[in-house]
Amino acid sequence: MRKPYFDNAKWLLMVLVVVGHALEIVPGERTLALYKLIYLFHMPCFVLITGYFSTQDAGKSILYFLILYVLFQTAYLLFQQNVLHSDLPTRYGYPGHVLWYLIACVVWKVFTPYLARIRFILPLMVIIALWVGYDTSFDRHFAISRIIVYFPFFLIGYQFAKRKRKPPKPLPWPIALGILAGLFFLLVWAGERLPRALFLHTAPYAAVGLEMDYAFVFRLLLYFLSAAASAAFLSLAPTRPTWYSGLGARTMPVFLLHSFLAQYLTYIQFGQRIDTPWKWCLYVLGAVALAFALLPFGCLLKPLEKLADMGMRK
């Protein structure tokens, strides 16, 4: 039986994923701060929820994610070469745009049942995530940097489900809204002192301009800010069934397909045209509408789900 709270949260997060990628190309100090705020919690919450449900039929989902990765990485490489006119060589070891999450889910689902048995694994993984930022070999290759940095959130969700713990009580909505508003103004004030690239967790510290010995403090700070923003968002997600609860189970086509349009808009530098407040509002509403418009394409993924199911039965 599906839980409306998680479906509500998943759909709202999916909409924010689309909006976040839309804002990525729009100039402006406050737009950048909003983009950073979304990135503080939208992936940590998604990862946490994925970890929470990873104990259910993990084998089938692993095969399904691998099938999706091969097909969509192929499509993405063809898109890069023929539409974006990129001269990058064909590489399956460097996931395209959002596809890193499929690889990450496979790795997490395979190894977490074993790693979760290690005592103090959560603080240990946080320490490792802080350390890898100094090693330049941890980069976009198979999304290894993101896999490590986001793993603590997956582990938290997994352990909550495995130990059948009740989620913490939500924060009162005025406090939750206050936290998000406070973080937004903090990010406006911080500006380039917290580089945009730092929020993506794809590159070592030096590659994002943090060459000091204490660069790990910036990632540790993001962990704390992400925890606060995630707690605030999850406190605001409705717990009862809503008109969009059913959409939380249908996020995959939106997740996979919006990426192509996001990359094309980046290619044509569409963000430079968003130069007035009303254009900004229409643009964001368009991103929200896109999330809904891509839902019917879920029918294209049904045969792949059946294929994964058949593969597990064999």
Question: Residue 23's pLDDT is what?
Answer: 95
| pLDDT tens track for 213-258 | 899 999 999 999 999 999 999 999 999 999 999 999 899 999 999 9
Look-up of token digits 């406070």: 182
pLDDT of amino acid 285: 97
Eight-class DSSP state of 237: S
Question: What's the rounded mean pLDDT across residues 291-307?
Answer: 87
Note the pLDDT of residue 55: 74
Task: Find the mean pLDDT for residues 49-53.
Answer: 92
> Does residue 3 register a pLDDT over 90?
no
Amino acid found at 12: L
Q: Dmax of the chain from CA atoms?
A: 57
Give the mean pLDDT of 285-297: 96
Q: pLDDT exceeding 70 applies to what percent of the chain?
A: 95
The whole domain housing 254 covers 4-313
Q: Which amino acid is at 256?
A: L
Residue 26 has pLDDT above 70, yes or no: yes
Look over the chain and give the mean of its residue pLDDT values, rounded to a whole number: 90
Check: pTM over 0.75? Answer yes or no.
yes
User: What span, in angstroms and rounded, lies between the C-alpha atoms of 4 and 9?
Assistant: 8
CA distances from 247 to 105, 116, 311, 312 (A): 21, 31, 27, 26
Tokens of 160: 């909550």
- Kindly tell me if the per-residue pLDDT of 45 is higher than 60: yes
Predicted confidence at residue 311, as pLDDT, reads 55
pLDDT tier at 118 (50, 70, 90 boundaries)?
very high
- Total number of domains constituting the chain: 1
